[in-house]
Structure 1
Amino acid sequence: MAEKSEKMTKQELSAPDAFQLYGAEASDWLMKRSQIISTVAVVLVVGGLIAALVQYFNNRSEEAAAKQLGQTLESLERPVVEGVPLQPAAGELPPFKSEKERDETTVTELTKFRTDHKGTDAALTAALPLGKAQYRLGNYDGAVATFGEYTKDAPKSSPLLTAAYEGQGYAQEAKGQLDQALESFKQMSKAEASGEFMQGMGQYHQARILVAQGKKDEAAQLLADLKASQGNAAAGRLATERLAVLAAQGVKVPEPTPAATQKPDAG
């Protein structure tokens, strides 16, 4: 038995190494399937190329959309001349006959632009001037929806979020939706924290809404805090004026809260 075992061991030792065997089989498999593998390699390369092309055309699409938006907004900035027929210079568009005509043209052109360039950053940005035009025309439902698209899809770091929340709040206020407007202006205050744009205006608008809701004491506290924190900034001056109106109505002007009087650390 020992001899048989020894012979088996010698046979096993003389047998092809497993790695050599699998290596030979793999080589044979590769040779037989070299065309398939080449095709797969090409597909992988083409797949990467397609991804690069998609990115390239996305960038080109964004670039083209941004350029088109700039041209559209520039044409919408031409002056309004009422009651005086003017002949435009060669190659120029005539002035608008009224602010209403400009707003109507803005809605028409930017709505089409956003449809044609859907999904681009430029189309998202166009929501802001479109929403403002809708608001001025009295289309408050449309304005709320348009500004809402921007607040939903824009990056949280966007400095334009403050303007979007403000426009949304104004439109909700015009509809009599004071609770919703108050929430929009609260979100505006949060957006202000990421930059210096329109600092304090969200808090000022909140105070306005609270006054409209009959919560004048609560509004006075917000305004007193705003006056203390913003000083001579636009929001601070507006708060001072609004506090004077409330005081004339018999509302007691409170002292600002300690947090409002704290200055940011200079270090």
Structure 2
Amino acid sequence: MTKQQELSAQDAFQLYGAEASDWLMKRQQIIGATLGVLLVGGLIAATVHYFSSRGEEAASKQLGQALTVLERPVVTGVDLQPAEAGQEPPFKSEKEKDEAIVKTLSDFRAAHGGSDAAVTAALPLGKAQYRLGDYDGALVAFDEYIAKGEKNQPLMVSAREGQGYAHEAKGQLDQALASFQEMAKLDAGGFLQGMGQYHQARILVAQGKKDEAAQLLADLKSTQTNTAAGRLATERLAVLAAEGVKIPEPKAAPAAAQDAG
């Protein structure tokens, strides 16, 4: 298998990481002085409160309205009943939903360019652009969020991951590796805990550097035993071992019992 084939053939491990990241992006947001993690159901009200306190009341209210597109479900395979008065109908496909997200958030950002609310909107916009295959557009959005967003926001981890995925999809493996290295430096939690290191190992495998990847995975397995990333590392190590790669001893000391959240 060529390096390009390895890159284009997304395995179960890569897909798990992408789905986990998308789950967090759609359902969580960081708002307010405490930087608490909120479910999308509470995101709109929290967004309005946060940005209103910073003198961006108009932008915050409209961002709250724009973000409601994330809550609309996708229903396939059944005949849909007409939507009730005042409600939007479900989307007929994930593609239709992503296209609506891109249009809604692009229009919002054009109307409120330079505002903090526009920067916040760049993250879900980039995610939708990536899913639609617009990797250049996704990189523009992720780069803006990374450059202008609050550096200590937990969702900065998701932005770095999205940036890495977009570079990877374009075949820019060195840039993808750099993004995942930056991701690993940030304080992640939940599904993304340890995923920066796991993604680095994936890229190293795609670059033919399987021994380096094995060391990263061995360290990850040792320090993140009870996380999704640790379990994925264990599975990936088994694949590498079956390919004849010598699995090294971990350099990092084993961590105490951890909870994936």
How high is the TM-score relative to the length of structure 1?
0.72
Change (3 A) 1:156 1:75: closer
In the TM superposition, residue 248 of structure 1 has moved relative to its aligned partner by 1.1
Question: How far apart in 2 are the matches of 1:167 and 1:161?
Answer: 10
Higher-Rg structure is 1
Task: Specify the SS of the correspondent of 1:254.
Answer: coil
Between 64-73 and 111-120, the greater mean CA deviation after superposition: 64-73
Question: How far apart in 2 are the matches of 1:129 and 1:74?
Answer: 12
Q: Does 1:107 align with 2:99?
A: no
The residue correspondences of 1:176-195 to structure 2 (distance < 5 A) are: 176-192=171-187
Q: Does 1:87 align with 2:82?
A: yes
Change (3 A) 1:213 1:260: farther
> Which of 63, 78, 82 does residue 69 from structure 1 map onto?
63
| Partner AA of 1:115 in structure 2 | A
CA shift digits 1:162-207 (9 cap, x unpaired): 0000001001100000000000000101123xx5352211000000
Match of 1:250 in 2: 244
Match of 2:36 in 1: none
Residue pair 2:69, 2:101 contacting (<8 A) in 1 also: no
Task: Specify the SS of the correspondent of 1:227.
Answer: helix
Task: Specify the SS of the correspondent of 2:85.
Answer: coil
In the TM superposition, residue 116 of structure 1 has moved relative to its aligned partner by 1.4
> Which of 164, 170, 182 does residue 169 from structure 1 map onto?
164
Gaps of 5+ in 1: 1-56
| Partner AA of 1:88 in structure 2 | A
Higher relative contact order structure (alpha carbons within 8 Å, sequence separation ≥ 6): 2
In the TM superposition, residue 250 of structure 1 has moved relative to its aligned partner by 1.1
Residue pair 1:226, 1:260 contacting (<8 A) in 2 also: no
Change (3 A) 1:189 1:60: closer
Question: How far apart in 2 are the matches of 1:62 and 1:159?
Answer: 22
Residue pair 2:224, 2:255 contacting (<8 A) in 1 also: no
Gaps of 5+ in 2: 1-50
Task: Specify the SS of the correspondent of 1:239.
Answer: helix
**1 or 2, which has the higher helix percentage?**
1
Task: Specify the SS of the correspondent of 1:126.
Answer: helix
Question: How far apart in 2 are the matches of 1:58 and 1:70?
Answer: 12
Match of 2:133 in 1: 138
Measured on the aligned residues, the alpha-carbon RMSD in Å equals 2.0
In the TM superposition, residue 152 of structure 1 has moved relative to its aligned partner by 0.9
CA shift digits 1:196-253 (9 cap, x unpaired): 3522110000000000011111000000000111111111111111111111111111
CA shift digits 1:12-41 (9 cap, x unpaired): xxxxxxxxxxxxxxxxxxxxxxxxxxxxxx
Question: How far apart in 2 are the matches of 1:238 and 1:212?
Answer: 16
In the TM superposition, residue 58 of structure 1 has moved relative to its aligned partner by 7.7
Identity in percent: 68
Between 81-90 and 243-252, the greater mean CA deviation after superposition: 81-90
